[in-house]
């Protein structure tokens, strides 16, 4: 978890989940498939290599069973006309249940209401590596479109056969196949009746071009939104099973502490309470949550602690403990370019650990029945959690089922199966289903964090503003978006992994916000040094047309270049490329110079993620990413000392609230000619540097650490 790089993960330490997946055992044969689903027409997507194959772990794995193994998704049209789509992707607020439904509706030509998505259930859905990295829209969405298009053609063929007509002359529309020449039409459900027809799609099927999208490309409300506004939807903590107990886990007082002794007699004497002591794991299960809490409180444990790194020494530690860099990028001759540059600038930037703090904490409900384990849990990697459970309990994979109810956010923080393993251990001992919901304090302490890091940059620029030298070293925070999009002939860019003092892992956009913060702050510093407007300086060194276009679009919308109206006002700009998306952000801040307080007044973001699938959903993601990004940019920071988190409560860890929200404007650059890229992450990467640059413009103070204003003030007040 911390930072043991393996294979292709070496360059991106947070992507530890990209180790090779276990072999996938596809358990259904065709007959069983239709026995479970009922008769009808089914289309299965088979991925051989391509993107989908990579996402499901890569490597082809032959036809050893009745259906091929590398299944990307499947779709079933039942005898009563309902369409069921199975995908291993999961929903946690990014609204892919809606956007994927929309993609299928478009290709299959059926109303959205007739489609049901089964997502993230390891017994029912095809293997999927996980829902992260903004991969759903670029990969799963076209895959499902392809499956739906083939299903549509299959239905057209069935109608053609029935009418003895030519398929090419028939059209599919609104759940029917019709023959414009004769005026006949037949509903899909009639075509599906009595069938047990399965087809595998291997090769690319032609898709409706984005410019002709009818349903996709328009905004569609959340398909199961009513369940959420009425409170009916059951998140994992809401799952209830017959005879279920409530679990609690005894946590060590500090990271790295080991259990020296345990006296559990008082807890064990409580009626209905099961205590589990297995190695370093201690937990209780009780008939109710208050009883579980009481049982936990009477456990007498002694712990042996070991000294741990504290926050004040963190950045020194990261620099001193870096392992040799891997994946160094080098062009030209850096040293000579640095020494011959008209201006030289060296600067160090830092980012601290922050918490995902999804509002739904980690939780799991585990149930053992006849030697088979079923766990409901909110995770971005249901198949990964299944594997963790199988390993923890030494079970074959087909004895473990993980079900992921639509979940209360993840942000990259729900990749592991901690709560699932704990609940399953308690359930096994108690021989009853057990629900375990982490407290907010546990969530802030025993989950994992967005990595902290130190970034050092050395640059050289000629008097006219041409960047000639660029040296960039990232210690620990990660390699996402580490390369510069600017045209610099002499570069050295390197990521240095470190064994992190705190448990760290994926976070929305990975290290892209950190690397953009350093790079785009530095670009601003150089622009001021050579006295060129920061936007003009960027464009002077930038050839990429799509990035130039978003810079120009954001500048136009923001009114870049206008004069300040008050001394405390400041404007900043930043941008970049990440995960196939192009983003530029302008920020306006107001600094009260006497108090030093900072307020972000306005944020404008221009975003190009290729062809837009659902403009409102996209707008939601961009604004949401911006608001979440405000926290990491301005004030979020995990404070820790000798293995203890000092601010493990929401009252001590400030997250963005209503009053923090600036005026936010989004400029969507819809490129129907480009493939769609995911949008959950990239829109936040330019926010922090845009704000830091705006604070500099307002005050002349250059802030090189995230968060920028942990106490809300840019200038320390008189007493400091």
Partner 1 sequence: MAKVTELRVNGKPAAVEADGETPLLTVLRDQLDLTGTKYGCGEGQCGACTVLIDGLPRRSCLTPVSAAEKKEITTIGGLAANGRMHPVQQAFLDAEALQCGYCTSGMVMTAVALLRAHPDPTEEEIARFMEGNVCRCGTYPWIVAAVRRAAELLRKSRS
Length of the chain: 720
Crossing angle of the two packed helices 141-163 and 96-108, in degrees rounded to 10: 30
- 8 Å CB contact between 411 and 508: yes
| Pairing of β 245-249 and β 281-286 | antiparallel
Helix, strand, coil % in the chain, rounded to nearest 5: 30, 25, 45
565 or 659: CB nearest partner 1: 659
Structure tokens at 150: 């083939």
CB of 137 to partner 1, least distance (A): 15
93 or 501: CB nearest partner 1: 93
261 or 659: CB nearest partner 1: 659
264 or 437: CB nearest partner 1: 437
CB of 624 to partner 1, least distance (A): 4
Element (H, E) at 259: strand 258-263
- 8 Å CB contact between 376 and 487: no
169 or 234: CB nearest partner 1: 234
Other CB atoms within 10 Å distance of the CB of residue 117 = 24
Element (H, E) at 418: helix 418-430
Q: What DSSP line would sit under 572-623, residue for residue? A: EEEEEEETTEEEEEEEEEEE-TTT-BEEEEEEEEEEE-SS-S-HHHHHHHHH
Per-residue buried b or exposed e for 399-411, using 16+ beta carbons within 10 Å of the residue's own CB: bbbbbbbbbbbbb
- Comparing CA positions, the residue from 464, 470, 451, 500 lying closest to residue 347 is 470
63 or 658: CB nearest partner 1: 658
CB of 224 to partner 1, least distance (A): 9
Cα(704)–Cα(701) distance, rounded to whole angstroms?
10
407 or 459: CB nearest partner 1: 407
**Total H helices, total E strands in the chain:** 18, 29
CB of 237 to partner 1, least distance (A): 6
Other CB atoms within 10 Å distance of the CB of residue 387 = 18
Structure tokens at 651: 């009252």
CB of 214 to partner 1, least distance (A): 20
CB of 672 to partner 1, least distance (A): 23
215 or 542: CB nearest partner 1: 215
CB of 623 to partner 1, least distance (A): 6
- The conformation of residue 354, written as its DSSP 8-state character, comes to B
CB of 419 to partner 1, least distance (A): 14
90 or 158: CB nearest partner 1: 90
290 or 561: CB nearest partner 1: 290
What are the angstrom distances between the C-alpha of 246 and each of 299, 419, 423? 16, 13, 9
Structure tokens at 438: 């982490």
CB of 413 to partner 1, least distance (A): 10
CB of 248 to partner 1, least distance (A): 13
For residue 559, give every residue at least 6 positions away whose Cβ sits within 8 Å of its Cβ, in sequence order, or none: none
Which chain residues interact with partner 1 by CB under 8 A? 92-95, 219, 221-222, 225-226, 228-235, 237-238, 240, 246, 288-290, 357-361, 406-409, 411, 437, 439-440, 616, 620, 623-628, 649-651, 655-659, 661, 664
For residue 636, give every residue at least 6 positions away whose Cβ sits within 8 Å of its Cβ, in sequence order, or none: 354, 355, 653, 654, 655, 707
148 or 403: CB nearest partner 1: 403
CB of 680 to partner 1, least distance (A): 10
Three-state SS for 51-80 is HHHHHCCCCCCCCCCCCCCCEEEEEEEECC
- 8 Å CB contact between 198 and 30: yes
């Amino acid at each position: 978890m911390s930072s043991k790089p393996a294979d292709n993960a070496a360059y991106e330490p947070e992507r530890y989940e990209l180790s090779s997946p276990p072999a996938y055992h596809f358990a259904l044969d065709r007959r069983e498939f239709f026995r479970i689903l009922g008769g009808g027409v089914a289309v299965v997507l088979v991925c051989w290599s391509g993107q989908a194959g990579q996402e499901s772990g890569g490597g082809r794995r032959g036809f050893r069973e009745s259906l091929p193994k590398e299944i990307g998704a499947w779709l079933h049209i039942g005898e009563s006309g309902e369409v069921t789509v199975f995908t291993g992707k999961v929903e946690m607020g990014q609204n892919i249940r809606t956007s994927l439904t929309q993609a299928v509706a478009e290709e299959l030509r059926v109303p959205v209401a007739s489609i049901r998505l089964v997502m993230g259930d390891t017994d029912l859905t095809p293997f999927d590596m996980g829902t992260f990295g903004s991969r759903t829209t670029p990969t799963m969405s076209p895959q499902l479109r392809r499956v739906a298009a083939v299903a549509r053609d299959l239905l057209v063929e069935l109608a053609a056969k029935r009418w003895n007509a030519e398929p090419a002359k028939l059209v599919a529309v609104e759940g029917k196949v019709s023959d414009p020449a004769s005026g006949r039409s037949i509903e899909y459900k009639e075509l599906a009746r009595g069938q047990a027809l399965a087809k595998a799609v291997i090769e690319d099927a032609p898709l409706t071009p984005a410019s002709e999208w009818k349903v996709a490309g328009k905004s569609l409300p959340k398909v199961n939104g009513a369940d959420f506004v009425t409170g009916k939807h059951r998140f994992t903590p809401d799952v209830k099973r017959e005879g279920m107990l409530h679990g609690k886990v005894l946590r060590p007082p500090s990271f790295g502490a080991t259990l020296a002794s345990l006296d559990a007699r008082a807890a064990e004497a409580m009626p209905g309470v099961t205590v589990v002591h297995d190695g370093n794991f201690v937990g209780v299960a009780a008939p109710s949550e208050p009883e579980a809490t009481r049982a936990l409180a009477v456990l007498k444990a002694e712990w042996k602690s070991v000294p741990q790194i504290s926050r004040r020494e963190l950045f020194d530690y990261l620099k001193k403990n870096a392992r040799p860099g891997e994946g160094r990028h080098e062009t030209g001759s850096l040293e000579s370019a640095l020494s011959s540059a008209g201006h030289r600038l060296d600067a160090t930037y830092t980012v601290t650990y922050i918490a995902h703090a999804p509002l739904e904490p980690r939780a799991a409900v585990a149930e053992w029945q006849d030697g088979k384990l079923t766990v409901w849990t909110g995770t971005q990697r249901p198949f990964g959690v299944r594997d963790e459970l199988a390993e923890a309990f030494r079970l074959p994979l087909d004895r473990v089922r993980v079900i992921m109810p639509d979940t209360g956010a993840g942000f990259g923080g729900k990749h592991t199966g901690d709560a699932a393993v704990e609940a399953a251990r308690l359930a096994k001992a108690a021989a009853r289903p057990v629900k375990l919901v982490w407290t907010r304090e546990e969530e802030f302490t025993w989950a994992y964090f967005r990595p902290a890091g130190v970034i050092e940059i050395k640059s050289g620029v000629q008097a006219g503003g041409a960047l000639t030298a660029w040296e960039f070293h990232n210690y620990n925070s990660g390699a996402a978006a580490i390369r510069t999009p600017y045209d610099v002939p002499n570069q050295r860019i390197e990521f240095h992994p470190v064994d992190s003092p705190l448990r760290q892992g994926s976070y929305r956009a990975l290290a892209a916000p950190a690397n953009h913060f350093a790079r785009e702050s530095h670009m601003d510093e150089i622009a001021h040094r050579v006295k060129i407007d920061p936007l003009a300086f960027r464009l002077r060194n930038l050839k990429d047309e799509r990035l130039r276009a978003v810079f120009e679009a954001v500048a136009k919308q923001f009114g870049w270049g206008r004069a300040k109206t008050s001394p405390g006002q400041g404007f900043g700009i930043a941008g970049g490329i990440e995960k196939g998306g192009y983003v530029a952000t302008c920020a306006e801040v107001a600094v009260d110079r006497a108090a030093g307080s900072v307020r972000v007044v306005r944020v404008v973001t221009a975003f190009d993620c290729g062809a837009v699938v659902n403009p409102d959903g996209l707008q939601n993601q961009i604004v949401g990413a911006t608001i979440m990004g405000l926290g990491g940019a301005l004030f979020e920071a995990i404070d820790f000392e000798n293995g203890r988190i000092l601010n493990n409560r929401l009252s001590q860890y400030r997250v963005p609230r209503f009053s923090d929200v600036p005026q936010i404007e989004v400029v969507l650059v819809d490129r129907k000619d480009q493939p769609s890229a995911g949008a959950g992450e990239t829109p936040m990467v330019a926010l922090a540097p845009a704000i830091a640059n705006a604070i500099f413009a307002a005050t002349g103070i250059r802030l090189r650490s995230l968060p920028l204003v942990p106490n809300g003030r840019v200038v320390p007040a008189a007493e400091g």
